[in-house]
Structure 1
């Protein structure tokens, strides 16, 4: 019985040791524009269009260069804020509401708005000819 107790204590201690840390979104960025992004992979990307990407040689580098509304946690669940500050569903579960962060801009300085999100879904992602 003593061995079982020791094993249980060791397993609990290991669980705390490897527990995931809590993430947060930085509201200010002190980055420097420009530079070069180097990525090493086993194969060349087949596409840089996320809606067409079906293999890790394309999706892995895109994960470094594209931002999403909601980011995935370590378990792969969409629970962390990305471009969206808040999100929620209607009472009937049929409508998804998104509030994007303030001050977002495209690389040319134009403001990023919810209209850009709408365009991405309606005019790109939801058209079968535009996706794999």
Structure 2
């Protein structure tokens, strides 16, 4: 099922690309990131540390272009939805994904129970 790999990998690589092309210091982002953002960055880093050929193959899988286009459409809609439209979208998504919302939310709560992944001490902190 291409969607289980193409979708998250594309989203994570897009986050990494935005951060890399930003004028903001990535180390500062990492230090200040709340647990959900830190988890996303950690997952993106896992991809960046892996064999790029694997991820290239995944992004060339049958249906991958359509999945990425749908991801882009979803992201663009976030910028055009009114508050009411976004609320309706979230309600519809909860309904469509009802079988996985509870276990996925429980996993997220578990991940963030202790403030999520911790940032490693900076070199300056570890030298003191």
The bucket for the TM-score relative to the shorter chain is under 0.3
Which structure's relative contact order is higher, taking Cα pairs within 8 Å and 6+ residues apart?
2
More strand by share: 1
More helix by share: 2
Q: Please, what TM-score do these two structures have when normalized by structure 2?
A: 0.23
